[in-house]
Structures are given as structure tokens and as C-alpha cells.
A and B are shown apart, each in its own frame.
Chain A
Amino acid sequence: MRIAEMIVAAFLIAIGAVVMWDSVRIGAGWASDGPRSGYFPFYVSLLLILSSLVVFVQAAIGNDRRVFVERRQFGPVLSVFIPTTIFVLVIPWIGIYFATALFIAYFMWWIGGYRDWTILPVAVGVPLATFCVFEIWFLVPLPKGPIETMLGY
């Protein structure tokens, strides 16, 4: 926990510093007709840095030996997070509908331990239902890939 606290606090301090730098660049003062663009962001970043500094110091002098996350727990988290990242990564390439089908199929197969006869209807049904709701019913375009283009969408 101690290390995790310190890393997060340090990260927040870094964000604060970047925000402060940009606020000063666009003008952080108080002009004759009120605050300028960077006025509020400047003080926001100042408070962010100060409060994170306290958290950092508190964590550094404290002695919190709890584990942030155990390996046993972290495995499953990654086994969901990594495929989700890949899912988002491929959306621009193969479109959201195809990616959804693959993602759901993976999820049910790998995590749920289902076999194909239960996977298939869900993995095909969900993107199909989504397609009907968004593209046809509400006329909201979602990202599409070559397969949809081939089918004329």
C-alpha cells in the first residue's frame, strides 16, 4: 500500500505541475474584468500539488504494510482488463460489432468456461441487437469496419 500510495501521489503532483505550467502560459492572473483563462486551473493545480504532497509524505513516513493487490487476485483482473484493452484497440479496424462478438465469445469461453452452443447465440445476438437498436432504429452510427462496408453499411 505504501508504495502504491506514493506512486499515485507522485503522479498527481506531476499532473498538477503540467496543469500549472499550461495555466501560467495562458495567463493565470486577474484582469480588470475578472479572472483570465488560467486563473482557476492555476489554483486547482496548486491545491492538487499541495494535497498530494501531504498524502505522499504521510505515506512515506507511515508504515502501511498491507498489500495493494495480491497476485492471486490480480491475475483475474488482468485476464479481463487486457482483452478489454485489445477490444478497444481493434474497434477502429474491424468495427465495434465484430469486435463485440469476438470479445463476448472470448469472455464466455475463457472466464465462464462455456461451450460453443451457449456462446454462439449470445456472441452473435448481442451485436446484432445493438446493430438494430443503434444503426437502424435510432440512426446512430457506431464505428464500422470492412465487414459492415462489404454488407453495404
Chain B
Amino acid sequence: MRRIVEGFVALSGAAMLAASFGGDAVAQAWEPTRPVQFIVPAGTGGGADLMARVIQGTIAKNNLMKQPMQVVNKAGGSGGEGFLDVKDSKADPHKLIITLSSLFTTPLATGIPFNWKDMTPVAMLALDEFVLWVNADSPYKTAGEYLAAIKAGGPNKFKMGGTGAKQEDQIITVAVEKAAGQKLTYVPFAGGGQVATELVGKHVDSTVNNPNEAVSHWKAGTLRPLCVFDSKRLPITEKVTATMAWSDIPTCKESGLDVEYVMLRGVFTSPGVPQAAVDYYVGVMRKVRETPEWLDLMKSGAFNTTFMIGDEYRNWVSREEAVHFNLMKEAGFLAN
């Protein structure tokens, strides 16, 4: 785990060097002069909120910034409220925002007018993984078996629980539907923890919870992971249950369910801020990534720890935007 993180740090260090050549050399020494607002476009207690508060806490504890960081939740309209706020604050370098997939899905599903291009990308901090879970009492041991059961059952026979409507969980559900050639019933709930509990209580048949939302139930033997929606297996080999580690969960593709999805946990700032300010925040985030608090969070949540900045980050986001547009269009989730 450690070696992988270091690998990414080294890799992104090179990218950072390349990016900073293009920057404004004169204003290198930019520093915040006021408290920095860190906007969370989601409610308190969720994954993005948690990550923002870990960052805030690590910065405060290790004195990584001279000014304090204030976490502000702006969750209205599936996060549209938070993104609009950043979009409308022209060239205010004291405003950061952490992203979820709602960066892409909210404008498409609701018509709320914003786009990632309305903001200044700072850095990708990590990618959040998705795992297909079923109740441990269910007969399905592999994603292949579950997929076969979905195919064999009638339309809407199987219930998939997820967080929110027309967001990442439902997009994955639609992709699974497409792979199975059979409709599922998607039931939206308010938060990931609740979704996992609905599955434990057998009110739904499967979920696509993030690792840290369901890991405790997995340990307790009430949930069973079938496959992970990433291109490669999770890197963490430490045993979670008596017999399995995160790395023992096959990818969905190798189990015959050709669906891939990861969620961006990245940071953006207001439009039009100077490159020096962006570089400053990149520097802060780099330091955050080396703290034990951050590494703990990455491990407990089995995150994909890819770090990106500059053009690499920009290209990744714009590629992902196109992917989301196509997925949402096929699913019929576009507004109007």
C-alpha cells in the first residue's frame, strides 16, 4: 500500500513540475490572507463531507496553512447549490470545493447551469471505488451467478438500493441492467450507511456501496461482496474477514459483468484564480496526502489513491464528463 502511494506521489510530482513551468513565476509566493472556505456540495456525514473534514483537521493539526479552513455544507439541489456558489465567486482564491460525481450528474439531470469548466481544477485527491454487495444469506457467490439470476427472473424482480436519484449508484444500476438485458428496480435512499443497512435487513437484493459504507457488515458476516467496478482489483491485501482481503474481490469484468465506474474525489476552486494560488493549494494537498490521517482514511475506505493535477487532471475530468453524458443519455436521465 505504502509503496503504491509513494509511486503515485513520485509520478504526480513529475506532472506537477511540468505544470508549474507554465505558471506565473512572479506570483509564486501566494498565500491565503483570509480563512479559506472548503465547500462540500453534500450533507454532513457523507463521504465527501468526511473527506473534507479530514483534510481540514489534518491541515489544522499539522499547521499546513497559515489561515484556518472552514468547511461549509451546501447540499441543496443535489449539490448544485455548492457548485453554483463557486461558479459565481469570480476569482476568489479563498474558496475550494470537493467533488462527487454530482459534478457531472447534477447539471445533466436537473438542468442547473454549471459545468466543471466554470471552475478552476486544483487536484484529484483519490477515486472512490464501488463494490457490488448482496446479503450473505443470499445464494449468489459470484457476480456471474447473480447476473444469471437477474437474467432468469422477470423484469423488476430484483431490487437495487442506492444513494440518491440519477446519481452514481443509479448510473451503475443502469449499466448493470444493460449488461443483464433485464430491468432492475432501483430504490433511492438518503445515504450510503442507510443503503447498506437496508441490504442487511433484506429490504433490497443488492447495493453498489462504497467500501467503507459496507465494510463493517462484511466483517460481521452479514454482507458479501461480489465484485468491484474498477479496471483492476483493489490493492489492499490485509485480511478484512477471516478468509478475504479487499484484493480478493474480483473485478466485475473478470466475473462477466462488464461495468466499470469510479468516482472523482477532487478539488476545484473559483474561476479565474491565479496559477500561483492553484499551485499553493496543490502544495497543501500534497502535504495532506503524506499525513498518517489521510493514509488511514485511504486504507479504511479502500480508495484508489491516484493523484492528478494540471492538464492531466483536466483531461481526465473532460473524458469522464463525456462518459457521464453518454451514460445519462442512454439511461434517459437528461433533463428536458
Contact = CB atoms under 8 A, between A and B. Distances in A.
A33 B185 contact: yes
Contact of B35 (A33, A139, A149): A139
Contacts of B34: 149, 152-153
Nearest to B37: A141
Nearest to B68: A139
B1 to A, nearest CB: 32
Contacts of A141: 35, 37, 70, 72
Give the interface SS of chain B, mostly helix, strand, loop or mixed: strand
B70 A140 contact: yes
Of A139, A140, A153, most buried by chain B (CB within 10 Å of CB) is: A139
Contacts of A152: 33-34
Give the size range of A's interface with the partner: under 10
A97 to B, nearest CB: 15
Interface string B94-133: 0000000000000000000000000000000000000000
Interface residues of B, number: 11
Interface in A138-153: 139-141, 149, 152-153
Contacts of B69: 139
Of B34, B69, B72, most buried by chain A (CB within 10 Å of CB) is: B34
A140 B34 CA distance: 13
Contacts of B68: 139
B70 A139 contact: yes
Contacts of A135: 35
B35 A153 contact: yes
A135 B35 CA distance: 9
Nearest to A141: B70
Nearest to A140: B70
Nearest to B186: A33
Interface in A114-153: 135, 139-141, 149, 152-153
Contacts of A140: 70
B22 to A, nearest CB: 31
A146 B34 CA distance: 13
Nearest to A135: B35
A33 B69 CA distance: 45
B65 to A, nearest CB: 13
Interface in B40-81: 68-72
A140 B37 CA distance: 9
B189 to A, nearest CB: 15
B321 to A, nearest CB: 26
A140 B73 CA distance: 11
Nearest to B156: A33
Nearest to B60: A139
B125 to A, nearest CB: 21
Nearest to B34: A153
A141 B69 CA distance: 10
Contacts of A139: 35, 68-71
A34 B68 CA distance: 48
15 contacts: A33-B156, A33-B185, A135-B35, A139-B68, A139-B69, A139-B70, A140-B70, A141-B35, A141-B37, A141-B70, A149-B34, A152-B33, A152-B34, A153-B34, A153-B35
Interface of A: 33, 135, 139-141, 149, 152-153
10 cross-chain pairs, A with B, having the tightest CB-CB distances, nearest first: A139-B70, A141-B70, A139-B68, A153-B34, A141-B37, A152-B33, A141-B35, A141-B72, A152-B34, A140-B70
Given A141-B72, A152-B34, A153-B35, 15 more contacts: A33-B156, A33-B185, A135-B35, A139-B35, A139-B68, A139-B69, A139-B70, A139-B71, A140-B70, A141-B35, A141-B37, A141-B70, A149-B34, A152-B33, A153-B34
